Amino acid sequence: MQGTTQTPSQPDAYTPTDRTVPTRAAHKASYDKDLVHSVLDGAYVCHLGFVRDGAPVVLPTLYARVGERLYVHGSTGSRPLREAGQADPGLPVCLTVTHVDGLVLARSAFHHSINYRSVVVHGVAHDVTDPEEKRQALDALVDQVVPGRSADSRPGNKRELAATAVIRLDLDEVSAKVRTGGANDDPEDLALPHWAGVIPLHQGYGTPVANHDLAPGIEPPAYLTAR
Amino acid sequence: MQGTTQTPSQPDAYTPTDRTVPTRAAHKASYDKDLVHSVLDGAYVCHLGFVRDGAPVVLPTLYARVGERLYVHGSTGSRPLREAGQADPGLPVCLTVTHVDGLVLARSAFHHSINYRSVVVHGVAHDVTDPEEKRQALDALVDQVVPGRSADSRPGNKRELAATAVIRLDLDEVSAKVRTGGANDDPEDLALPHWAGVIPLHQGYGTPVANHDLAPGIEPPAYLTAR
């Protein structure tokens, strides 16, 4: 067809690399952008890994997705964020997000498993220095936790923005991994007298607990109580 | 007193090291063994970090605590487990466990936070080669997810044990970090018309879904339905 090229383009998928093709259970891996986005958009805590003095460090932290970029923030005094700002050309990181959806109980101990959805992002994190990008990233970090909340809070002022470091990690070297379904016992175990199946897990909001110093007459907003 | 020594012993706490003393929010850090154990015992998925080709890798995986040891298992074909077996004197890892307990909404975007409990373990993971230790570790991995389950399933056979690698990480260089309580807004923001407080999060079991090939007459056991 007119206008097409010979180069295969895959706008809807990330390109697999040596690091994102698993050695095991490769059928569970996916590079589909929609799937990756949905896993990332359904959480707000990631586990961020980096290397310090040759050894791995893994810390839980908040993140936000804005298009094909992830943002992580923290105090300008925190080590990884300081190191990302100082390192040239940035700080090599691995950012992982995991949802645990269910417990898979098999007749055999060996086939017990977990239903999960995870995303692993490899790349180099860079300090965000543009003030407008930084402001948008901080709004996104609040909205990732509670959608709509950034518009219902006092925005960061100059002092707060200066005290906060934001680093960016582009979604480029990315894979998702998903397990669904029941237990896969061996045929000879099917008649064993042990229950087998899936225990779905669900997470929900409890009743909001107002701050002790909340001004009178302010009720929890609809975007909280609706969940 | 007779029999005592001059050496201060702290049997109830881990000894802080350069890696386990945070640069920020040091008041949230704890080395208390009971706290560390309770955080570890309340979860079963960790994020395991290691270094490959100089870059960090973070993968979600199941773990179990047995006394002062953590165990992680996987296929003998999986890269980190193979590397732990081959590496001498083992594979440097960072194992992190995180509970998210609540969302902390402040009047100011800046003071939004998360209530959480996390444990970070640094150390060197070693391949478990003793068959009895390996068997106990595999039981513990099943019981960490569903207490009591290993006794209600078919134990691993010789082939399954041979296909499974288990690595051990001693609890030695360990810290916990905990945030609790409400929003800490600045005094000048207290009268702003934004709701502030905590949204508690809770996770629970859904209704068990029996496997399609479950033998007739087997009901979900009490240790599942009680939760």
**Residue B221: inside a domain, yes or no?**
yes
Structural domain containing residue A68: 26-204+216-225
A125, β-bridge pairs? A91
Residue A170 belongs to a domain with what CATH number? 2.30.110.10
The helix/strand count (H/E) of chain A reads as: 5, 10
**Residue B207: inside a domain, yes or no?**
no
Q: Tell me the residues of chain A between 98 and 137 that have a Cβ less than 8 Å away from chain B.
A: 98, 100, 102-103, 105-110, 112, 114, 116, 118, 120, 122
Omega before B89 within 30 of 0, i.e. cis? yes
User: What is the arithmetic mean of pLDDT over A74-97?
Assistant: 82
**Residue B167: inside a domain, yes or no?**
yes
> Does the pLDDT of residue B142 top 90, yes or no?
yes
**Residue A4: inside a domain, yes or no?**
no
pLDDT (tens digit per residue) in B94-113: 999 999 999 999 999 999 99
The whole-angstrom separation of Cα B199 and Cα B22 is: 27
User: What is the arithmetic mean of pLDDT over A204-224?
Assistant: 93
What ipTM describes this predicted complex? 0.93
- C-beta separation of B76 from A125 below 8 A: no
Write phi, then psi, for B189 (nearest 5 degrees).
-100, -5
Q: How far is CA B78 from the centre of its chain?
A: 20
Nearest-CB residue to B197 (from A51, A203, A209): A209
Residue A92's contacts (CB-CB under 8 Å, 6 or more residues apart) are: A50, A51, A123, A124, A125, B54, B55, B56
Lowest model confidence (mean pLDDT) among A2-11, B20-29, B107-116, B133-142: A2-11
What 8-state DSSP symbol labels residue B32?
Answer: B
The whole-angstrom separation of Cα B210 and Cα A101 is: 16
**Residue B4: inside a domain, yes or no?**
no
> Does the pLDDT of residue B155 top 60, yes or no?
yes
The whole-angstrom separation of Cα B134 and Cα B165 is: 8
Binary contact (A58, B48; C-beta < 8 A): yes
- C-beta separation of A141 from A62 below 8 A: yes
Using CA coordinates, name the residue in chain B closest to A183.
Answer: B211
HSE (side-chain half, CA atoms, 13 Å) at A220: 18
The whole-angstrom separation of Cα B91 and Cα B76 is: 15
**What pTM was estimated for this model as a whole?**
0.93
pLDDT (tens digit per residue) in A109-164: 999 999 999 999 999 999 999 999 999 999 999 999 999 999 999 999 999 999 99
Q: Domain total for chain A?
A: 1
**Residue A8: inside a domain, yes or no?**
no
